[in-house]
Structure formats: C-alpha cells, structure tokens
Structure 1
Amino acid sequence: MSTSDQRWFHRRGDLARDGWESVVDENTPGWAHTGIRVADLTATDSLALAPAGVERIVVPLSGSFTVAYFEGADTTTTRLKGRASVFDGPTDVLYLSSAATAVLTGVGRVAIATSPTDVVKPSVHIPASDTPVELRGAGRSSRQVHNFGTPQALDAARLIVCEVITPAENWSSYPPHKHDEHVPGHESRLEEIYYFETAPVAGSDAAAETAFGMFSTYSSPAGEIDINAMVRTGDIALVPFGYHGPAVAAPGYDLYYLNVMAGPDPEREWLISDDPAHAWVRDTWAGQSVDERLPHTNDSNDKEGDR
C-alpha cells in the first residue's frame, strides 16, 4: 500500500473504539460530515446508538438484528431480517432519524452509516424488496448497486448511502471521478467512506482470508491524496476530496463496498465529475452487455453454493 497521508486508509481494527471494530465520526482527524461504525455481535452483545443529533442507517452485513429505538416518549422495535452475506443480494435496512437513540442486538456483522444533523426526518424500515437494484456499467465494468439510501429512494437529511457488488475480475468506481466542488447542477461536495468486504467466488476452495481487491485515489485541485491499496474485509478508505477509483475485484474474488456520503452543500445531491482523461470509457459500454453473473441475489447464490 502507498498513501500520501495515513489518515485516509485504515486496516480492519485500526479504528476500534468502545466495543466497535471500526468507528469513523466527527472525532476522526480531517473528518466532519459522515461516519461509520462496524461490529460483530454475538447473542449476548448489545450496542448503544447514541446520542441524538445524528441520523443513521443500520445495514446488516451478515446475520439478523433487532433495533429498539427511542424518540421522545415513543419506543419502537424493528427486526432486520438481514442476509447470509453481503454477496447474497440486498438486505432490509433501518433509517433512524436524528431525534432517535437506539440499542442494537443480534447475531452477525453490522454497519451503521451516520451523519450529524439537526434536521429531523421520519425513521423508516426499508425492506430488501423495496431496495432499487441498479446494474451499472457493462462488460468488465459491470457492477451491482443497491440504492437504498440515495436521494431517489430515501428522504434523509444529509446521508447518501449505497452498496456495490463487483464480480471477480471487474472494475467499479470507474471511470475515476470526484465530488469535491460545489458546481450547481454539475458537481456536489461530498465526503465519502468506502467500507470493503471480499470473498472467494462461489464454489471456490480458497480460504476467505486470501480474498482481496484493489482501490485507488489521486489528487484533484481540491487537495492531495494518494491511495493504492490491496483491500480486504473490514478495511476502510476515507475520501475527503480527489479522484477515486478504480475499485477492482481480483480474479477469483468478489468485491463489496458500502459507500457513505454527506457534505456541506445546501442540497442533498450526488453529482460527480469524471476525470476528463478517462471519461471516454463510458462511451464504450454502449456496445457491451452487462456481465451475465449479475444480478447477485439470494436465489442465484443458493444455486451456486454457499460462500
């Protein structure tokens, strides 16, 4: 791995705090608008989601969870059915308003996307069946995007959240792009977190810990950044500015990442600018088909075998 600043890339466990495997929030140096918490829970564990003044999306990575949340005098309990793994299609998620605090229990691995805000939007449970699934790109740039937390799917205050599955040998977050300038109608300013998971392709005998992908960022006029990293399950990249991409799934291994975005602009918009040197690649997709391995769903993975 090479980086210009060790603040922007963190191996699994480097950001452990208060019972969480990883924590990114406003206390992270150089960070202000987004956050993430990741944990593995057993049947005897519980984790508090507090204080108020932070909107959250609870994303089961593997396993099932119960969230008891409190808004004023009201208490609501929501069961998240979850999924076997991040490579088994969409999961149900829970958006928690900035007026809520909560307690999380269950068995499995979970991510909490966060953003500080005083704006209060209604809490909402989003079933997996209601998650917009997008097949983006074509050919070896094919990937699957679950848009449960984008502006078109969720009425949040600041958070923009989605997850991406990239099959083995494919490229995603490509062409390299940025969102670090406020150009109305063209580009928005958004901090971005990449949380990664990797796994051997279905049916492989490879050990889970051998799975990896690659991720890169580089500088833009907004700031200097340089990440060229081999990524594995639990690793986190922070993108405060600059061009980011590609994220590449190595042969033999599938790649997943959860994107968490928010920024200082008055509008909640996800507007990007491609690196002009590589933007032409999008035009080549017109003559290619989407990778036949997509979409990844619970049904297709059941047919292929367990991970």
Structure 2
Amino acid sequence: MSELLVKPSGETGKVIDITPESAGWRYVGFALHRLSAAQGVSAVTGDREVCLVFVSGTGTVTAGGQNLGPLGGRESPFDGKPAAVYVPGNCNWSVMAETDLELAVCSAPALTGRAVRVIAPEAMSQEVRGKGTNTRYVTNILPETDGVADSLLVVEVITPGGHTSSYPPHKHDRDALPDESYLEETYYHRLNPHQGFAFQRVYTEDRTLDETLLIEDGVTTLVPKGYHPCAAIHGYDLYYLNVMAGPRRVWRFHNQPEHEWLLGG
C-alpha cells in the first residue's frame, strides 16, 4: 500500500492517527475517533491547536474548563454542515458521545494564546466551485478569512458522482508568496453509498512523486507536495475533510499550466 494512503486501524476508538512525525513533515496532524454512545475521548493540546469536527453524530464537549454542551447532530457527512470547536494550545478538551459519533481532530502548531470557540454550522460559509462535471460544494470550517486560528485551515468538500475535484490540478508546496504558499494537507475521504470508490493522484512536476490512489470509504490521503486532483466515480458521491497548515496561514496555489485552460470560458 502507498505510504500516502492511511487506512483505518479498526472499527472503534482512534482509528486514524497521523502526526507530523508519522507523516514525515512539520505541521499537520489528523486523528479520527469512532465512538459509541457513552464513550469518550480527552486530550491536552500542548503546543498544538486543534479543531474538533463532528463528522457525524452528537457529543457533549468540554474545553478549557467550559461546558460547551451537546454539538453535532448530522447523520452523515453528506447531511448538511458540521459543528466544530476550536481549541487553542495548552488546553484540555473532552468529548462524550451521545450517539454513535465520528469525531475528527485536526491539529497544527499553536503560536499564540487564543480562546476556545464553538464554530456553529450557521456560522460556516458555503460556496460552489467549478462548473459542469467539475462542480463541487465547499463548506468553510476554518477558512483563511477567519482569524481565529494560528495555523489551521479546515474545509469540507462534497464532489458529486462523476465529477472531479481539486481540479484543474493545483499545488501549494513552495513558500513563495504572494504566488504560492507552502501547505501540507490531509484528505479524509467518505463515500455515499459507502461501498463506492474514487481516485486521487498525487504527483510532482518532475514525476519523482507520482502515485494514483484508490480511494475507499474512510481512508486518508497525505499530500506532502505536488498536484492532487480527485475523481468521483458515477453513482458515488465523494466527501473529504481537508486539513492544511504551513509556516504561514495563507492558501495560495499554483495551477498546473497545461491544464489551466480548463478554467477559461
């Protein structure tokens, strides 16, 4: 199996655990917990900031000594917007599942002292990107325009079956602002119906990295560098939760020049 593809380690508990050390990079961390009702998870952020994303289900959250109450509620990541919580560095947090719960823990370096913040679904902007069979639907959880975080950028995308996404191919692997920013990235994928599949290609201009990955329900792709388009197969919608972070909290990407013509007209 490709080192860029991380499959769940089991059915319950922490089933995905990606750290900067395991990924071989510096910034992005991603974990996924699958909990049954009355099961819980807790942690201390330390020198990391965290965004808790309720992929599905409901849980009661405590963070920084505050009881934030029950959050979440959607039945699947294809059913409306999520709820999320921003937790700064050096802060305790815990989640107790009230229903079956899929909880994503997105992390990156904490650089300043910030406050715990609930990011309610109604506070998240949505947008449609692309046209035709390149149309996809984006929910901004922690966008660049939101100054609540030090490093984290978090977004959800739904790509209908038969459509492409993260396309035309683009990359963000150079710290060369204002033209391009260096951002590591993870893609947590889900499919609807769950037995479907999709494809993702991760490749560099010189093809020293060039891998085409079979995307099945529940896997995570690592994007350390290069272009990284996705293709959803007819009949199966593709969801992914993106986590990005780098030396600066700015998303500036470079389109692959030979495919940039697709943006015109």
Q: TM-score of the superposition, structure 1-length normalised?
A: 0.81
**Larger CA deviation: 126-135 vs 18-27:** 18-27
Aligned to 2:203: 218
Instruction: Pick closer, same or farther for the CA change 1:236–1:81 going to 2, 3 Å.
Output: closer
8 Å Cα contact 2:154/2:242 also seen in 1: yes
8 Å Cα contact 1:160/1:262 also seen in 2: yes
* Partner SS state of residue 163, structure 1: strand
* Letter matched to residue 6 of structure 2: H
- Give 1 or 2 for the bigger CA radius of gyration: 1
CA distance in 2, matches of 1:117, 1:127: 22
* Pairing 1:48–2:47 present: no
* Pairing 1:184–2:157 present: no
CA distance in 2, matches of 1:68, 1:193: 26
1:262-301 superposed matches below 5 A: 262-264=245-247, 267-284=248-265
CA distance in 1, matches of 2:77, 2:48: 25
CA distance in 2, matches of 1:50, 1:225: 35
CA distance in 1, matches of 2:69, 2:118: 8
1:37-116 superposed matches below 5 A: 37-70=31-64, 74-106=65-97, 107=99, 108-116=101-109
Aligned to 2:238: 255
Aligned to 1:117: 110
Shift of 1:7: 2.4
* Partner SS state of residue 264, structure 2: helix
Gaps of 5+ in 2: none
1:12-27 superposed matches below 5 A: 12-13=8-9, 19-27=13-21
* Pairing 1:150–2:143 present: yes
Shift of 1:151: 1.3
Aligned to 2:216: 232
* Letter matched to residue 94 of structure 1: V
Q: Percent identity?
A: 32
Instruction: Report the aligned-residue RMSD.
Output: 1.8
CA distance in 2, matches of 1:157, 1:257: 22
8 Å Cα contact 1:180/1:242 also seen in 2: yes
* Letter matched to residue 257 of structure 1: Y
* Letter matched to residue 277 of structure 1: E
* Letter matched to residue 9 of structure 1: L
| Equivalent of 2:6 in 3, 10, 32 | 10
Shift of 1:75: 3.4
Q: TM-score of the superposition, structure 2-length normalised?
A: 0.93
Aligned to 2:228: 244
8 Å Cα contact 2:23/2:222 also seen in 1: no
* Letter matched to residue 250 of structure 2: E
* Partner SS state of residue 27, structure 1: helix
